[in-house]
Structure 1
Amino acid sequence: MANWQSLYDELENLKKEGRYRPMTVWDSGSSTWMTLNGRRVLQMSSNNYLGLTGHPELKESAIAAIREYGVGSGSVRTITGTIRIHDELERELAAFKGTEAALVFQSGFTTNQGVLASILSPDDVVISDELNHASIIDGIRLTKSHRKIYAHKDMDQLEAALKQCSSYKKRIIVTDGVFSMDGDIAPLPAIVKLAETYDALVYVDDAHASGVLGKNGKGTTDHFGLNGRVHIQIGTLSKAVGVVGGYVAGDRVLKDFLIHKARPFLFSTSQTPAVAASCLAAIRVLRRSEERIAQLWANATYFRSGAQALGFDTGASETPIIPIIIGDPAKTMRFSDLLLEEGVFAQGIVYPTVAMDKGRVRFIVAAEHTREDLDIALGAMRRAYQKLSIIG
């Protein structure tokens, strides 16, 4: 029998520090109100920004695809796993993003791993924001390229790094579009300007901007009017789009290269027909979702202002991701537990996901939250804080 004592010891240490968190098993599908152990709970941690997980057009598309194609694709994309619905999805994504081509992966995480590991060589340098997502960090670690990290959104440090990197074959600046822990937006216009000045490529991960920023949710590139000036756009199909998967949008040559080089693409069975069809339906829904997206932003502004009025620290948030900064990991998780006692689910996030003194309960506001829902959450926050004796 294996000796797992070291694993037991580490788990016990997490419990002592208040950072241990078992999986939460829900009794209902993703929505603004969900059922947990037979109890109705207000959901404030879901990435289902636009409520598309339950959209009738997506569900009907999934059912129709199962009837036509079956439940699986049977293989990786480069053998027999590319069926018509996959090709249609990629064509629709490219048209939506305004790029020559798009390539779909099984998740946003594997997209970053596959793209970065494929395009970066020992002759290249990648320059990355210090708060970029773990999938970007892991993707960079898979390469033998040189790397530089600049302080979060610090354009002076970015420029200094670019000046030092003129001898490399390729210089690639990598940034999240919206940073997932703080809810702030990358200074993309400044990044693009520096990239053009120093002959660098720009790589943007729009996981939390897809469906949220830009016209019809096209992302940060469209939000800032930088179409044609961002070389690699990464998106997710599992947050605002409401299904699962990730994609890269860019030039045709990039897609063709990744088909032959990206290991997560080459060695993973393709999306099920139902998933691909649901994603395709979601993109078509997004094209007429301006009102839904406007409601998302109105809700975010209302909730953030309400939290700040109660004395909460919302950090650098400027999107529907609204962290409530607590600091201490144990207190952070206790605050999350107290909120659940009040009937509100908002997940605590602590070290190592964020710095040890930057523990936060991350709220994510959705378009389908009503003002009554948001007021319920704000009231629960006030009462939970009082119990925690952080504010009066």
Structure 2
Amino acid sequence: MASSPQAWPQRLADAATWRRAQGLWRERLTSTRGMLDFAGNDYLGLAADPRLAKAQAAGARRLGAGAGASHLVSGHLEVHEALERRLAELVGRPRALLFSTGYMANLGTLQALCDSETQVFQDRLNHASLLDGAKLAGARSRRFHHRDLDDLDRLLARAPSEAARLVVSDGVFSMDGDVANIGGLAEISARHGAWLMIDDAHGLGVLGAHGDGCVGRAHGVEHVAVLVGTLGKALGTGGAFVAGSEALIEHLIQFARPYVYTTAQPPGVAAATLAALDVIAAEPERRERLRDNIAYFRHEAARLDLPLTDSFTPIQPLVLGESEAALRWAGRLREAGLQVGAIRPPTVPRGEARLRITLRATHDRECLDRLLEALARLPGEITR
């Protein structure tokens, strides 16, 4: 017997009740002026840079507010072509291909490369989009222990020799701030005849001698066949790209459904990203200031016995354990005018809820000290 229309409202209500009872209900918080942001991913402070805003406005005036069609119809404009060339140059690859979001880039790439016969090997802490991309392709993902090369080696050794194999990992892990061993992953992948795919969303612009990320020019196409980067984090704009060989990019143009069937990104956004690449190339001191801020924050946090994880990237997690504790700490910080992300399951494993503190090149010492002082007060305040 078919279910009644009333069954759907009850399903929604039951799901909401369960999530609230688990302390996992998510709230959208409207950011306001005057709040110090230690939650976002604008690592170089470019999102509000007037040069990017000027370039975006000029691009929109010249080319329109939107692209009007997908890349394969009439939406691929000269500004998109120029941006793809610049991104390929930044990361030392023959070609790059623009996507509207990082999530779509990962979905499209894995859907286009994999099928039910493909063996996919993923780090246990990979981003949800990487896991979902393998599911969309019908491929089974075998999960190796986080950054455990021996475990990956064992899994690859047991896989059928005739199957196509793809090893997939974040470059910088978005909730932990640690970095994949790219050289080790490349060596093991090559030894087992597997391709290696790295999502360097949180490394691009921040790491590398030129802001080319934790993969970039140091690891060529022969070592990392598929490189994904996003533009809405350190570059301060929006969208994403996949970089690799000529054959890879042409394959994605033909078979990546999120690319084929999506309107191209607004031309003003592409123009702003070109301006961001100019700033990154001309102002390496932004990365230097960011490194200084990370070192200062970690030194002072250690002095205060704050339980930070071992991360040298802008992502500085403070693991509290229970979801309720993370919510309380984030709430108290917000009352003090400090915005910090409270990260809970299923984004992180159960029992590892945390404050995800992110640092920027544009934070000065006064900003950092204000956060440190508030964090130092919190344990005593919350237990009262």
1:349/1:359 contact within 8 Å kept: yes
1:8 aligns with 2:19: no
1:59 aligns with 2:25: no
Give secondary structure in 1 for the equivalent of 2:137: coil
Task: Quote the residue 2:194 is aligned against.
Answer: 200
Deviations 1:265-307 (A, max 9, x none): 1111000111111112112221123110111111112112222
Show structure 1 runs of 5+ residues with no match: 28-34
CA distance in 1: counterparts of 2:358 and 2:208, whole angstroms: 18
1:77/1:269 contact within 8 Å kept: yes
Task: Quote the residue 1:31 is aligned against.
Answer: none
Superposed counterparts of 1:75-94, under 5 Å:
75-94=69-88
1:123/1:168 contact within 8 Å kept: no
Task: Quote the residue 1:74 is aligned against.
Answer: 68
Task: Pick from 280, 304, 307 the counterpart of residue 274 of structure 2.
Answer: 280
CA distance in 1: counterparts of 2:92 and 2:375, whole angstroms: 42
> Quick one: which amino acid aligns to residue 12 of structure 2?
L
> Quick one: which amino acid aligns to residue 310 of structure 1?
L
1:219 aligns with 2:213: yes
CA distance in 1: counterparts of 2:141 and 2:267, whole angstroms: 38
1:348 aligns with 2:342: yes
Task: Quote the residue 1:20 is aligned against.
Answer: 25
- Mean alpha-carbon deviation: is it higher for 361-370 or for 5-14? 5-14
How far did residue 166 of structure 1 move? Answer: 5.0
CA distance in 2: counterparts of 1:358 and 1:140, whole angstroms: 25
Task: Quote the residue 1:153 is aligned against.
Answer: 147
Show structure 2 runs of 5+ residues with no match: none
Task: Pick from 222, 225, 230 the counterpart of residue 224 of structure 2.
Answer: 230
1:318 aligns with 2:323: no
CA RMSD of aligned residues (A): 1.6
> Quick one: which amino acid aligns to residue 227 of structure 1?
G
1:307 aligns with 2:275: no
How far did residue 169 of structure 1 move? Answer: 3.8
1:342/1:384 contact within 8 Å kept: no
TM norm structure 2: 0.95
> Quick one: which amino acid aligns to residue 330 of structure 1?
E
Superposed counterparts of 1:1-392, under 5 Å:
3-27=8-32, 35=33, 40-165=34-159, 167-222=161-216, 225-228=218-221, 229-389=223-383
Deviations 1:227-284 (A, max 9, x none): 3421111000000010110100000111111111101111110001111111121122
Give secondary structure in 2 for the equivalent of 1:256: helix
CA distance in 2: counterparts of 1:153 and 1:202, whole angstroms: 14
CA distance in 1: counterparts of 2:168 and 2:39, whole angstroms: 26
TM norm structure 1: 0.93
How far did residue 97 of structure 1 move? Answer: 1.1
